[in-house]
Amino acid sequence: SIVDPQLRAGYHFQPPKNWINDPNAPLYYKGWYHFFYQYNPKGAVWGNIVWAHSVSRDLINWMALEPAIEPSIPSDQYGCWSGSATILPDGTPVIMYTGVNRPDVNYQVQNVAYPRNRSDPLLREWVKPGYNPVIVPEGGINATQFRDPTTAWRAGGRWRLLIGGVAGGGTRGAAYVYRSRDFRRWARVRRPLHSAPTGMWECPDFYPVGADGRRAGLETSALAGPRVKHVLKNSLDLRRYDYYTVGTYDRRAERYVPDDPAGDERRLRYDYGNFYASKTFYDPAKRRRILWGWANESDTTADDVAKGWAGIQAIPRTVWLDPSGKQLLQWPIEEVEALRGKSATLKDRVIKPGQHLEVTGLQTAQADVEVSFEVPSLAGAEPLDPALANDAERLCGARGAPVEGGVGPFGLWVLASADRQERTAVFFRVFRAAAGSDGKPVVLMCTDPTKSSLNPNLYKPTFAGFVDTDISNGKISLRSLIDRSVVESFGAGGKTCILSRVYPSLAIGKNARLYAFNNGKADVKVSRLTAWEMRKPLMNGA
Ligand code: DQQ
C-alpha cells in the first residue's frame, strides 16, 4: 500500500479494521451515547453490511460491542441498511432500518428492532419482532429506491417518519411520510413531505431548530411554532453531497415548505467536502442537536484492501440555526477539546504578500488549530467573474491556493513537509461584490489538496463553498481538526465546513508541519493562532 499506516486517523471514529459507511441510529440512553454504523465484518470494501455498535460516555472515547443488527430474518437477509432510532414515551429506544429481502434486486423494506433488556444501559441485544417488515413499498413506489427511515416525531398521538426515495419516474428525490399510532402498523401519506428534481434522496433527516439564534437543540417531536423552524436534509445519491434547506413544517397538511422558494435545492450543504449520509440526534444530557457524518477514503480500493480499513466518521458537530435564519451553524462538540495537549500560540503577526509563517514547537500531524485573521484593507479584492459567481468549486479550481489574488488566498498549509512540496491548503479568498448584489464582499473558502501528496493515484478534489459572512471589518476565523489523513475545517465559526482526506508521503508523523500563508497582494494579520496537539482517545480497542 502507498498509504503509510501512520496515516490512520488518531481521534476520528473508526473501528480497528474493515469498511465503514453511514452513521446509524445515534442515541443517548441511561448515561451512554450509542453509535451504530454500516460495517463490513469481512473486509475493507462495501458489502456484507451489518450494524456495528459502539458506546461512549463522551462521544470521543469509544468501546466496541458486538454488532447490534445482522441479517437474521427473511426481510433483512440480504442486508441491514441504514436507519434511525426513536425514543418512545416510556424511554425505550426503537430502531427502524432498511432490510433487503431479495438476492436479485435490491428490494427494500423497513424493519423494527427493540432492546431485549431495557435495564442494560449498553443495549447489547436487539430483538426483531415476528411481525417484520413493518413497511413495504406499495402504491407505485420504486422498491429499489426506498430506504433509510428517519427518527420519528409524534404529535396528536401519532408517529410520523420519513423514508427516502424517488418520484416522477426517478428524476425527483422524495421524502415519503408514514404515520402510525403503535410503531407497528404504518400508513403512507399520499403526497411526499417534499420532493425536488435532484435524483434519489438517501438518508433523509428532518428536525426542528430554534429560530431565535439559541444554540440549544430541540427534541425531534418539539412542536412547530413561531420560534421553531425545520431543517430537511437529504443525501443526494447522484452528487454524493448532503444538502439541506431551512423551512416550515405544516403538520396538518404533512408538508414541508423551504423558506427560500426560489432557493436551489442544492445550495446549502452541511459540508462542502467529503461528508455523506449524515444524521442528527437530540442529546438530552446537554440539550443539543448533534450531527454525525461519514467520510470515505480518497485513495484507491486496492489501497483500502492493502491497509485493511476504509472510512471514518467526522467529529460529531453541534448544529443550530444561524441568527439570520438562513443557514445552520456547526461546531465540533466541546468534548473534543478534552483531547487537547501541548499548545503553541502566535499573536499579531502580519504576513506580507507571498510570505508564510510556521507554527513550531509541537507535532501537528494530529492537532486542532484555531486562527483569527484580519485583513487591514479589502480595497484590492478581485472582481468576481459572474460566470463563476454561483459555482464555488469551479471558482476555487480556477483560482486555487497557488494563484496569487488580491485579498487572499490566505489561510493554513496543514500536513505540510519541511520543504512544503507537500501541503494541503485551507484558505479564504475575498472578491468584490458582484454588480447588482447586496454590496457585501464575497468570501470563498477552499480546501486544495492538489499538492497534498507526492504519491500518485490519489483522488484529490478541490472542495469549496461560499461563506455567508460580513467581512467588511476584515475579520474571519478558521478552525481545522487535523488528524493524519483527515483535514476537517470550519470557516467563520461554523458557517462553511469542509472535510478532506489526504495521504502525504513526506508530511507524516513528526514530519508534518503547519504554516499560515498569504498568497494575496494585501497584507494579512494573524491576530491569534493557537494550535494544540491532540491526544488519542480510546477508539474501539484499536
Ligand atoms: N448506504 C446504505 C443505504 C444508504 C446508503 C447502505 C447511503 O441504506 O442509502 O449501506 O450511503
Q: Is the confidence at residue 209, as pLDDT, over 80?
A: yes
Distance CA 389, CA 434 (A): 8
Reply yes or no on whether 22 is catalytic: yes
What is the tens place of the pLDDT at every residue in 258-287?
998 766 666 899 999 999 999 999 999 999
Mean pLDDT, range 118-124, rounded to an integer: 98
Mean pLDDT, range 45-67, rounded to an integer: 98
Taking the domains of the chain in order of start, what are their residue ranges? 5-13+22-332, 341-534
Q: Check pocket membership of 81 for ligand 1, CB cut-off 6 A.
A: yes
Distance CA 407, CA 382 (A): 7
Mean pLDDT, range 235-239, rounded to an integer: 90
Give the helix ranges, DSSP H, for 214-284.
none
Question: What pairs with residue 165 in β-bridges?
Answer: 146, 174
pLDDT of residue 466: 95
- Atom number, ligand 1, closest to the C-alpha of residue 82: 8
What is the tens place of the pLDDT at every residue in 284-319?
999 999 999 999 999 999 999 999 999 999 999 999
Q: Is the confidence at residue 224, as pLDDT, over 70?
A: no
Q: Which of 30-44, 184-198, 392-406 is predicted least confidently?
A: 392-406
Q: Which of 80, 166, 203 to mutate to test the pocket of ligand 1 (most atoms within 8 A of CB)?
A: 203
Question: What pairs with residue 500 in β-bridges?
Answer: 487
The DSSP 8-state label assigned to residue 50 in this structure reads E
Q: Is the confidence at residue 337, as pLDDT, over 80?
A: yes
Mean pLDDT, range 142-167, rounded to an integer: 96
Q: Check pocket membership of 277 for ligand 1, CB cut-off 6 A.
A: yes
Tell me the average pLDDT of the chain. Answer: 95
In single-letter form, the type of residue at position 24 comes to N
pLDDT of residue 262: 65
- Reported ipTM: the value is 0.99
3-class SS letters over 27-39:
EEECCEEEEEEEE
From ligand 1's centre to the CA of 276, what distance in Å?
10
Q: Is the confidence at residue 133, as pLDDT, over 70?
A: yes
pLDDT of residue 263: 61
Phi, psi of 489, deg, nearest 5:
-120, 150
Give the helix ranges, DSSP H, for 102-253.
none
From ligand 1's centre to the CA of 24, what distance in Å?
10
Which DSSP string do the residues of 59-106 spell out, in sequence order?
A: SSSBEEEEEEE-S-SGGGTT-EEEEEEEE-TTS-EEEEEEEE--SSS-
Mean pLDDT, range 210-228, rounded to an integer: 87
Alpha carbon nearest to ligand 1 atom 6, residue: 81
CB-side exposure of 227: number of CA atoms within 13 Å?
9
Q: Check pocket membership of 21 for ligand 1, CB cut-off 6 A.
A: yes
Q: Give the active site residue among 4, 22, 259, 523.
A: 22
Q: Check pocket membership of 533 for ligand 1, CB cut-off 6 A.
A: no
Among 241, 275, 229, residue whose Cα is nearest residue 23: 275
% of the chain with per-residue pLDDT over 90 = 87
Q: Which of 219-223, 294-298, 476-480, 484-488 is predicted least confidently?
A: 219-223
pLDDT of residue 439: 77
Residue 1 — very low, low, confident or very high, per pLDDT cuts 50/70/90? low
Distance CA 339, CA 387 (A): 44
Q: Check pocket membership of 471 for ligand 1, CB cut-off 6 A.
A: no
Distance CA 306, CA 249 (A): 48
Mean pLDDT, range 482-507, rounded to an integer: 98
Distance CA 242, CA 265 (A): 11
| Contact between residue 71 and residue 37 where contact means Cβ atoms under 8 Å apart | no
Q: Which of 19, 21, 142, 236 to mutate to test the pocket of ligand 1 (most atoms within 8 A of CB)?
A: 21
Q: Does domain 341-534 have CATH number 2.60.120.560?
A: yes
What is the tens place of the pLDDT at every residue in 169-190?
889 999 999 999 999 999 999 9
| Residue that is written with C-alpha cell 498509504 in the block | 3
Q: Please report, for residues 46, 131, 207, the alpha-carbon distance to residue 134 in angstroms, rounded to integers and kept in the order given.
A: 26, 7, 23
What is the tens place of the pLDDT at every residue in 396-446?
988 777 788 899 999 999 999 999 999 999 999 999 976 667 778 999 999
Q: Is the confidence at residue 72, as pLDDT, over 70?
A: yes
Positive or negative: CA dihedral 193, 199, 203, 209: negative
Alpha carbon nearest to ligand 1 atom 7, residue: 277
Q: Check pocket membership of 148 for ligand 1, CB cut-off 6 A.
A: yes
Q: Check pocket membership of 365 for ligand 1, CB cut-off 6 A.
A: no
Q: Is the confidence at residue 225, as pLDDT, over 80?
A: no
Neighbour-count burial of 476, counting CB atoms closer than 10 A to its CB (0-12 exposed, 13-18 middle, 19+ buried) = buried
pLDDT of residue 473: 92
Mean pLDDT, range 235-260, rounded to an integer: 93
User: 5-13+22-332 maps to which CATH number?
Assistant: 2.115.10.20
pLDDT of residue 125: 98
Q: pTM of the entire structure?
A: 0.97
The DSSP 8-state label assigned to residue 433 in this structure reads P
From ligand 1's centre to the CA of 515, what distance in Å?
38
